[in-house]
Amino acid sequence: MSILMKGINKIGNTSFFKYPLKALDHLGVVNKFDSKAWNSDKTQAVITGLGIASLVLKDGLGCYLYVNQSLHNKKIPEDKRKFVAALDLTNGGLMIALQLLAYATISHKLVQSKAFAKLFGKYISAPAKKCYKAIIDKKFIQKGMKPSTNKVFNESVAEYENSARKAFAHFSSLIAATIIGKRVLVPFIATPLADKAKQMMDKNSEK
């Protein structure tokens, strides 16, 4: 663990963080296994749902706060204030739209699974695994060990596949949604849209 992460961990161990979490726990926000237990699919669905709710709420409220504060910020030059606020508005709106789109496309389980199969399927197919087993078993025998049992081999290979899938999901979402979508597409579209939004703001203030 880096020094920075150690520091963050230390901060998290203070009462400032522990008290509110303890209070939230007492509210009983998650269920036990006494009624309907969380299975992985249910958990994922809840996390996805909360993630969508969070982004709509967070980015929605954030957009409102930023626009409002920018418009009333006397420290921003008057001739630029409305454009700054207009860009906050279009940026916020597009950000919500893009993230919802990403949830439905690139980050979707089905799309992820198909894209992974298309790009890497042949490297983790049953015939490929058969070869990996033959190769690694030879290595184990050379080391004076027994070949891997099928149970252990399959568990290890499933573990490998699972973490490769997770890595792919992480990087494909990072590149497509976070970098290209949020940082390239959104500002690219939001900037000209902000021109229009500023014009509307000007018209409204003239009235």
97 binds another protein per the rule CB under 8 A:
no
Question: Of 100, 179, 200, 202, which lies in the binding site for another protein, with binding defined by CB under 8 A?
Answer: 179
110 binds another protein per the rule CB under 8 A:
no
103 binds another protein per the rule CB under 8 A:
no
Decide whether 2 or 204 has the Cβ nearer to another protein: 2
162 binds another protein per the rule CB under 8 A:
yes
**Residue list 59-78, contact with another protein (CB under 8 A):** 61-62, 65-66, 69-70, 73, 75-78
In the complex, the smallest distance separating the C-beta of residue 190 from another protein, rounded to whole angstroms, is 8
**Residue list 122-151, contact with another protein (CB under 8 A):** 122-141, 143-151
13 binds another protein per the rule CB under 8 A:
yes
Q: What 3 state SS string does the chain have? A: CCHHHHHHHHHHCCHHHHHHHHHHHHCCCCCCCCCCCCCHHHHHHHHHHHHHHHHHHHHHHHHHHHHHHHHCCCCCCHHHHHHHHHHHHHHHHHHHHHHHHHHHCCCCHHHHHHHHHHHHHHHCCHHHHHHHHHHHHHHHHHCCCCCCCHHHHHHHHHHHHHHHHHHHHHHHHHHHHHHHHHHHHHHHHHHHHHHHHHHHHHHHHHC
56 binds another protein per the rule CB under 8 A:
no
Decide whether 108 or 129 has the Cβ nearer to another protein: 129
Decide whether 114 or 122 has the Cβ nearer to another protein: 122
177 binds another protein per the rule CB under 8 A:
no
